[in-house]
Structure 1
Amino acid sequence: MVGIRVGFIVNPIAGMGGRVALKGTDGVVEEAIRRGARPISPEIVRLFLRELTGYEESRDFEFLTGPGPLGEDYLREFRLHFRVLNHRRIRYREIHGIPIPDTTSEDTKALSKAMLGKVDIILFAGGDGTARDVYSVVGRSVPILGIPTGVKMFSGIFAVSPESAARVLVEFARGRARIEEREIMDINEDAFRKDDVKPREYGRALTPVFELLVQGSKEPLKVEEEGILRATAEAVAEELLERDGIYFLGSGSTVKMIKDLMGIDGTLLGVDVVEVKDKKARLLVKDATEMDLLKFVDKNPKVIVTVVGGLGFLFGRGNQQFSPKVLSKIPKENVIVVASPSKVEGGIVRVYTGDRGVDEKFRGYIRVRVSPWMEKIVRVL
């Protein structure tokens, strides 16, 4: 048995803005709830702990965590060994009938500081903002690993899924995970909501890495591929205009290029609903939410998405509007993937929605359009 001390911090409101097209949750919790959002972080944390408790080593781990929704509630539920760092009393408030804890980034920072010198690794559940908060306190003094619950997860310190985070933690305890320097990235959310991407690297953290269970960081398009990608977008836009029907066009610069070529004033970082009829495209919903997409799923829509560079995701990073409810009603053959060759040079892409049935439907192999005249068959993990 291998016993280690694990710092465990949960951002209980992370990810709430994703399915309701807010592209983040910082400062917009009330608006997210008004649009129908509900906390998703608790369920993802439970997926992590359910997987972790399947390993015998977990019974020898000692967790240091925050009070209540900052970690204590979940560790108690799964009967793991833990000690609470009671830095303050957590209170709740109701927003449109939904109880929300009064936690902030200062809680993450306070707990990170209290864990310094007392743990072998810090696990946190959140997005890029939470990663930045942890790193701002601990720097490179202790390895950190993210359980992906946020909207923006462009940093290279996140496990590809909560289940993968459990495996990486166990392999770290076994001494089999290698420690790498990985980028801490964050984006200005206000600018992000206006389709203005301003990524910034805030530093490089130490992160345990095992096999392909930790994602890379978001990468820019290679200059030499810009021409071929433009030609591919032109070919795809022309083909879509030849087929009457409903289309869900996803986020990213590649799909935005297709939207522009179809004559649609769509979003760069959101999902748009488009109708094509008689070789003309009409924008039905701009920057659609999960609920908007559900209104059209019975019309056999086609879904056009790209691969997030460096992260390798089709669904699960930056396009949470494609929720399990939506994707459960979309046949795999209705998904059209367009990407530059470098984004699929490894031969794999990922889907993670948190619903095993939906994820399994998309696993196997899928065609990716990499040029006007070529598709590549890649494996979906």
Structure 2
Amino acid sequence: MQFKLGFIINPVAGLGGSVALKGSDGAETAAKALALGAEPKSHLRAKAALEQLIPHQKQLQIYTASAVMGEYVAKDLGFNVDVVYQCNEPTTEIDTHAAAQALVNVGVDLILFAGGDGTARNICQAISDKVPALGIPAGCKIHSGVYAITPKAAGRVVEMLVKGELVTLADSDVMDIDEDAFRAGTVRAKRYGEMRVPSELRYVQAVKNGGGKEIDELVLADIAAHVVSEMDEDWQYVMGSGSTVAAVMEEMGLENTLLGVDLVHNQELIGQDMTAAQLLDACQQKPTKLVITLIGGQGHIFGRGNQQLSPTIIRAIGKENIILIATKSKLQALEGRPLICDTGDSELDDELSGYIQVTTGFNDHVLYAVGHHEEQ
């Protein structure tokens, strides 16, 4: 299974540092830096990150912007590359924003970008929480918590994802400072949002016993509390079968059909042990999300014990509205094998394949690979 990596380089990131401009935000500042003799370095830092992934080229497909915004570096290193955005030269923040949006549109699993705090702001504005992202530090200002500590470290974190290791996703702040005030000697930092960022592998749950292993009951309570806290009154929620989903129902104080499928709206039970026909009718009446887990030991998401969730219903709900929940210990027990979709519709199984975010605790998530039965 290929990992779809989005890749963006801000070619003017860091230009102002060597010529004492204390930043590179804005076309005028970048032009001034070049006139003063600054040399672009962000492509070298981006290259250092990608070099960590050379051993995994067959498992990677890189989607990027043209020329200096990613294409040249990725192709020079021998990666398979799809150019999804044609940049202007010289590039501006408009290009960064548009390139990030293009990567979201093609469904990348992660956006790896080289830049500074200004670049992080542009990426954040473009993608919000639609796709995880990770920064390669290449700018003058690195106040945001979305950057790896070094370019090589960024590459290693992506390598862990490609290899199927459990990597926690954390919401990290995007910060920037007022460059004009900074040049005058005043630091004015401001928070501009947050992005979901893969961190180092730490198989340590917030709720744990003395041995560092998950206590299932407490972890399930953590997962349930997070799911309920994120529920939107404008949406209804199809609640899949299994004990992990049952914990969410318990958190809401609702009766649960352990081996069936229920329907919830505003934390009230509006349908119990529903058939495929009943579910489809409900999904056509109101925006719907699906809360589902996997079968322990096997890794099936669809096709085992939840046949009520027909291909028609899954398509009506949409991949982007599937909330997958599981403990990290259940994922760890799969020993790197992908999750399985066996819906009975091979085209849908293909559409569901790739990488999916799994909620593993309160504000705790990982990315995990999804295949289908024909790949097993």
TM-score of the pair, normalised by structure 1: 0.50
**Deviation (angstroms), 1:186:** 0.8
Q: Please point out which of 174, 185, 188 is paired with 1:184.
A: 174
Contact 1:4–1:60 (CA<8 Å) still a contact in 2?
yes
Alignment partners' CA distance in 1, 2:201 and 2:60? 22
Instruction: Give a deviation string over 1:259-305, Cα, whole Å, max 9, x none.
Output: xxxxxxxxxxxxxxxxxxxxxxxxxxxxxxxxxxxxxxxxxxxxxxx
Shift, 1:195, TM fit: 1.1
Task: Indicate yes or no: 2:62 matched with 1:63.
Answer: yes
Letter in 1 for 2:35: R
Do the aligned partners of 2:168 and 2:201 also contact (CA within 8 Å) in 1? no
- Structure 1 segment 14-163 matched on structure 2, within 5 A: 14-26=13-25, 27-53=28-54, 56-88=55-87, 90-91=88-89, 102-117=90-105, 118-163=107-152
1:4 aligned residue: 3
Looking at structure 2, the residues matched to 208 and 57 of structure 1 have their Cα atoms a distance apart, in angstroms, of: 18
Distance, in Å, in 1 between the alignment partners of 2:101 and 2:167 is 25
Cα distance in 2 for partners of 1:72, 1:192 equals: 33
SS at the partner of 1:65?
strand
- For 2:49 and 2:13, the matched residues in 1 are separated by 15
Cα distance in 1 between the residues matched to 2:11 and 2:34: 14
Q: Which residue of 2 is the match for residue 168 of structure 1? A: 157
Show the 5 A alignment for 1:184-263.
Answer: 184-210=174-200
User: CA–CA distance in 2 between the matches of 1:132 and 1:145?
Assistant: 13
Spell out the pairing of 1:292-307 with structure 2 (5 A cutoff). none
- Sequence identity of aligned pairs in percent? 36
Match of 1:238 in 2: none
Once residues 131 and 34 of structure 2 are traced to their aligned partners in structure 1, the CA distance between those partners, rounded to angstroms, is 35
Does 20-29 or 6-15 show the bigger shift?
20-29
SS in structure 1 at match of 2:19: coil
Q: What are the superposed Cα offsets for residues 162-182 of structure 1, whole Å, 9 maximum, x if unpaired? A: 110110001122232110010
Alpha-carbon distance between aligned partners in 2 of 1:188 and 1:58, rounded to the nearest angstrom: 40
Which residue does 1:359 correspond to in 2?
none
Task: Answer yes or no: is the 8 Å Cα contact 1:87–1:110 preserved in 2.
Answer: no
1:37-87 superposed Cα distances (whole Å, 9 cap, x missing partner): 11111211221222221xx32331111100000100011101101100134
What root-mean-square deviation, in Å, do the aligned CA atoms of Structure 1 and Structure 2 show? 1.6
1:200-256 Cα offsets, whole Å, 9 max, x none, are 1111210000059xxxxxxxxxxxxxxxxxxxxxxxxxxxxxxxxxxxxxxxxxxxx
* Aligned amino acid, residue 29 of structure 2: V
Shift of 1:142: 0.8
Give the whole-Å Cα distance in 2 for the aligned partners of 1:45 and 1:77: 12
* Counterparts of 1:58 and 1:155, CA distance in 2: 29
Q: What secondary structure does 1:165 align onto?
A: helix
Unaligned 5+ segments in structure 1 are 92-101, 213-381
Residue by residue over 1:90-110, the C-alpha shift from the partner in whole angstroms, topping out at 9 and shown as x without a partner, is 34xxxxxxxxxx100011111
- Per-residue deviation at 1:187? 1.0
Distance in structure 2 (CA, Å) of the matches to 1:87 and 1:38: 23
- Measured in 2, the distance between the counterparts of 1:59 and 1:190 equals 45
SS at match of 1:85: strand
Q: Can you list the C-alpha shifts for 1:322-351, whole angstroms capped at 9, x where unaligned?
A: xxxxxxxxxxxxxxxxxxxxxxxxxxxxxx
Write the distance in 2 (CA, Å) between the matches of 1:197 and 1:129.
15
The one-letter amino acid of 2:74's match is: L
Q: Structure 2 length normalisation: TM-score?
A: 0.51
Question: Contact 1:3–1:57 (CA<8 Å) still a contact in 2?
Answer: no
CA distance in 1, matches of 2:60, 2:201: 22
- Higher-Rg member (1/2): 2
1:159–1:165 CA contact under 8 A, matched in 2: yes
In 2, the alpha carbon distance for the partners of 1:58 and 1:189 equals 39
Distance 1:168 1:50 in 2: 13
* Structure 2: gaps spanning 5 or more residues: 203-376
Amino acid at match of 2:110: I
Number of aligned pairs?
Answer: 198
Distance in 1 (CA, whole Å) between partners of 2:85 and 2:149 is 30
> For 2:32, what is the secondary structure of its paired residue?
helix
Residue 134 (structure 1) shift = 0.6
Distance 1:112 1:42 in 2: 17
Query: Is the 1:58–1:170 Cα contact (8 Å) retained in structure 2?
Result: no
Local SS of the residue matching 1:195: coil
Q: Is the 1:23–1:151 contact (alpha carbons within 8 Å) kept by the matching residues of 2?
A: yes
Structure 1 Cα separation of the partners of residues 58 and 15 of structure 2: 31
CA distance in 1, matches of 2:201, 2:181: 35
Cα separation, partners in 2 of 1:103 and 1:204, compared to 1, 3 Å: same
